[in-house]
Every structure is written in C-alpha cells, then in structure tokens.
Amino acid sequence: MTTSGNDAFLGYGLLRPFVRDKKSDWASAGGVRLVRAALGQILGTRADSDFSQGELPWRTEFGSLLHLIRHRNNDETTRELARVHIANALARWEPRARLTGVKIVSESAGDQRDVVTAIRVYFDLVKHNVPGNAVMLQGLEVEVPLG
C-alpha cells in the first residue's frame, strides 16, 4: 500500500473520480496515478469567480475556471482562455506537477452541430519534495528560504 521510495513524497490516497477496486473498496494509489487523479479533480471542480460561487462550500476557491467558458463559441480565443485557466489552476493547486503543455482539439461528433472539445494536459512530475506539497511524510525535511 505504499509507493516506491523514488516517488513516496508524491503521496498515497484515494483516486478520483471514486471507483471501486477489486476488493470492493475505494481505489487508491500513489505516485503518478495519484497526481493524475488530482489534476482531474482540480480541473473538474468549479472555482469561485466574480460570476459564480465555487463548487465546494468549505473551500470555494479550489478548482479551475474552466466552467466559465462552457457553451461559448469554439474559437481560438476560447481555447487560449482554456489554456490560461488550466495553467493558473494547476500552478496554484498542484505543486507536484509542472505543466509542460496543453493541447485542445475540437471534432465533430456525428452531426455537424455536435462538436466535442478534448483537452489534453502534459506535465512533468517534480523530482523532489517541494514547499506547498500537502503530503505528510515522516522523517522528511524541506528547507524553506525565508526572504
């Protein structure tokens, strides 16, 4: 139930969206699988904005602003706004990943009026524990510069 020594600082926890594992328990993992699940959780959660309330009542600022571009014209401006919302959310909420790219692809799905937009996020994992990583580890120290 633990991650390997190389990526133990990435943590171990429940995967989201919640799914059952082979033991009829909630699926959990560590390392890159946990970070990937956290990225999906961040991007799929509505954050507080000037126009809407955040989805989580106990932490309204958590998440991304991707929901603000839903039902907008699928043009270059909207795609660039999506990239900005993704970069801002991941920089703020996920210190274990460094965004390296965002690819947004739009395709017609059957009928020409039905357009599906897929967002693919590319990232690198941090190699060492960093300040802001919310993972609690025994015996690990992180030096934080003061000023």
Which alpha helices (DSSP H) does 5-75 contain, by range?
31-44
Give the DSSP H/E element, type plus range, for residue 6.
Answer: none
Cα–Cα distance measured from residue 88 to residue 82, given in angstroms and rounded to the nearest whole number: 10
Say if 136 falls within a structural domain: no
Q: Higher-confidence residue: 144 or 87? A: 87
Of the chain, the percentage scoring pLDDT greater than 90 comes to 32
pLDDT class of 7 with cuts at 50, 70, 90: low
Average pLDDT of the residues of the chain? 80
For residues 95-120, give the mean pLDDT. 80
Residue 39 and residue 121 in contact, taking contact as beta carbons nearer than 8 Å: yes
The residue segments making up the domain with residue 54 are 8-125
pLDDT number for residue 48: 95
Say if 134 falls within a structural domain: no
CATH label of the domain that carries residue 82 = 3.10.450
The single residue listed with the structure tokens 């020594």 is: 5
Of the chain, the percentage scoring pLDDT greater than 70 comes to 76
Residue 120 and residue 111 in contact, taking contact as beta carbons nearer than 8 Å: no
Give the DSSP H/E element, type plus range, for residue 122.
Answer: strand 111-125
